Structure 1
Amino acid sequence: MARATVVVGYDDAELLDIACITSTLAAARDVGADPAYTVTLLTPGGRTMTCRPGLQLAAHGALEQHTGAVDTLVVAGGFGAERAAADPVLLAHVRRLARDARRVASVCTGAHVLAAAGLLDGRRATTHWVFAADLARAYPAVDVDPDPIFVRDGRIATSAGVTSALDLALSFVDEDHGPVIVRRVARALVTYLQRPGTQAQMSVHVAAPAPADDVVRRAVDHVAGHLDADLGAAALADHAGVSERHLARLFRSHLGRTPAEHVRRARTEAAAALVATSDVPLARVAARCGFRSTETMRTAFLEVYGRTPSEHRRAFVTAP
């Protein structure tokens, strides 16, 4: 029997939130997943959705009229999520479908809908980092973690912004069909196999540029270009031309972390990129990125990614 997946949409939902789920599950069917997935897009009243930037997306049916078993229920995110979360009819039917579903998930601000439905109470959850504080304030019973790209808490999953839905959907395929099928799907979608849910939303390599503060910028640029150098507090402060105490104060003010925390994260992110995209031995990766030993690097990986460097590398190996 096919695995019935229902995606809940509404006006001003994010098209990419929907497409990352539906296209990934369709690709699984195309590469031989058995049982395959069926995907049904439902909206209130079965109305056509208006997605950004004004694109029209037709629904398969009305949310309130859907009956039958649901294996996985996914609520899309988007700027219309708060209006959707205030719709008592929509919430009632999300609760109804979630009641017997094997898995329930949200993408991005779709977490607001699950929270409003009471499905996240007492659970750890995530959403796009921009909206995490709003979610935490509005729903204090939810343990909001703004860092991971997705979180699984029992049968409930929540994911961060937009393309993290692809990683979440790949995790579903992996859970249901194993590594061979999920690797085929990743190849079909021309994407990395799967980022772990514990990966941070805001990698230091894609985060916003350092603030305009000259001292912080010089220090951050020095770290990025000299990962294998002495980046201790004294050396970094000397390079920046300020005292250790002043540098620490500036880092907390402009980056929200200490110089040591920034250095450790920068080294870990750089090592992760090298591990995922090359066959450089781990000892050389550790040395190149400034770790004292492979064990030190291993500890850093476990803290940031929840897995070892070897496990991280295996996750990015292309299937034969």
Structure 2
Amino acid sequence: MQSVALIVRPDFQVMSLAALSAFEFANLAAGEKLYDISVLSEHGGLVASSLFTSVDTQQFNKTEFDTVLISGAMDRSSASSGIHSFLVEANADSRRVGALCVGAFALAESGLLDGRRATVHWARAKEMRDRFPAIKVEEDRIFIIDGKIWTSAGMTAALDLTIGMVEKDYGAALARTVSQRLVLYHRRAGGQSQHSAMLELSPSSDRIQQSLDFARKNLRRDLSVEDLADAACLSPRQFSRSFREQTGSSPAKAIENLRLEAARLMIEQGRLTLEAVASETGFGDRERMRRAFLRVYGQSPQSLRRTFGSNADV
């Protein structure tokens, strides 16, 4: 059995507690206690969250945990020297240390992120980069693993991080079961952007949403306006007008963004060749995909693959 500890401090984000659900549901799905979960604080007892409630905690002392996580505080105050010392000890003694959302600032203040890649909530990324120039801040990531240290983007990304830990510990099948039991619409991998193409479109009607869902599941197809309109149960003319009114984008541009997002994630995961990625995401060939990447991301798919050190045949 593995032990997991979450450190909280006054005004901590309630969402941090939700991230522990990955371990809770891993226990339920496995039918045995894979994880022993603890909530810690510097002094123990009740600790007030940022949202009307408090949680009972144990006082931390020795770092006898496989995994130590630190939550963020909404008031932007620095963590105490006691928390810094505990995190440094945990980094030496524990198998891994993780920061949920702006909890990454506590790791940064402790010097544990110097020279490492890390992410944080996009709204605080510039602040982290300015205050801690020794950290390689990558704000457009859901979570990052650098050695034994894990950092996550904002809010719900903390759950993606802890599900990623479950997958690392017990495999993809259990992680998928946990995601299903938590009724996650779409499980996000670490390399995925914090800014979702689907979220940015955010149509107001179910019909346009249906067309986008259809497109996301059928990126390999040509996806003409007629196809999308049929999925929305609208005429092509009605569909095109409604789509632009509700999303501010043309259907063609929206589909390209969905393809780019899917292709970027596949490239970062490094499991497929670039030809296969282009085929799977509907670009058809590498050259068309390359032009789209250069236009939107300012770098080629080959460059992105080298950044992530993939051994896949490019």
Q: 1:103-156, CA deviations, whole angstroms, 9 ceiling, x for partnerless residues?
A: 111011100000111110100100000001111111111111110010111111
- Contact 1:84–1:90, Cα closer than 8 Å, also in 2: no
Indicate yes or no: 2:2 matched with 1:18. Answer: no
Output the CA distance in 2 between the equivalents of 1:153 and 1:39: 23
Determine the structure 1 residue equivalent to 2:77: 83
SS in 2 for 1:226: helix
- Contact 1:224–1:266, Cα closer than 8 Å, also in 2: no
One of 17, 34, 37 as aligned partner of 1:36: 34
One of 160, 163, 168 as aligned partner of 1:170: 163
What does 1:119-198 correspond to in 2, within 5 Å?
119-192=112-185, 194-198=187-191
Structure 1 residue 3, shift from structure 2 partner: 0.6
**Cα pair distance change 1:306/1:57, threshold 3 Å:** same
> Runs in 1 of length 4+ with deviation above 6 angstroms?
270-273, 281-285, 304-308
**Cα pair distance change 1:170/1:196, threshold 3 Å:** same
What does 1:1-320 correspond to in 2, within 5 Å?
2-20=1-19, 22-32=20-30, 36-59=34-57, 61-63=58-60, 66-67=61-62, 69-80=64-75, 82-85=76-79, 87-192=80-185, 194-207=187-200, 223-227=249-253, 265=257, 267-269=259-261, 286-287=281-282, 291-293=283-285, 296-297=288-289, 303=304
- Contact 1:24–1:185, Cα closer than 8 Å, also in 2: yes
Structure 1 residue 12, shift from structure 2 partner: 0.8
Unaligned runs of 5+ in 2: 203-243, 266-275, 294-300
TM-score (normalizing by structure 1): 0.67
- Contact 2:47–2:54, Cα closer than 8 Å, also in 1: yes
Q: 1:183-215, CA deviations, whole angstroms, 9 ceiling, x for partnerless residues?
A: 221121111563111110012332499xxxxxx
SS in 2 for 1:135: helix
SS in 1 for 2:199: coil
Output the CA distance in 2 between the equivalents of 1:10 and 1:128: 18
Structure 1 residue 83, shift from structure 2 partner: 2.3
RMSD: 3.6
Output the CA distance in 1 between the equivalents of 2:136 and 2:263: 30
Q: Percent identity among equivalent residues? A: 29
Count how many residue pairs are aligned between Structure 1 and Structure 2. Answer: 249
One-letter amino acid matched to 2:74: F
SS in 1 for 2:27: helix
Determine the structure 2 residue equivalent to 1:313: none
Output the CA distance in 1 between the equivalents of 2:287 and 2:55: 50
Output the CA distance in 1 between the equivalents of 2:125 and 2:201: 17
Structure 1 residue 224, shift from structure 2 partner: 3.5
SS in 2 for 1:118: coil
Determine the structure 2 residue equivalent to 1:318: none
Output the CA distance in 1 between the equivalents of 2:187 and 2:6: 21
**Cα pair distance change 1:204/1:154, threshold 3 Å:** same
SS in 1 for 2:77: helix
SS in 1 for 2:161: helix
- Contact 2:63–2:86, Cα closer than 8 Å, also in 1: no
- Contact 1:120–1:142, Cα closer than 8 Å, also in 2: yes
Unaligned runs of 5+ in 1: 210-217, 229-262, 274-280, 309-320
Structure 1 residue 294, shift from structure 2 partner: 6.8
Q: Which moved more, 1:114-123 or 1:26-35?
A: 26-35
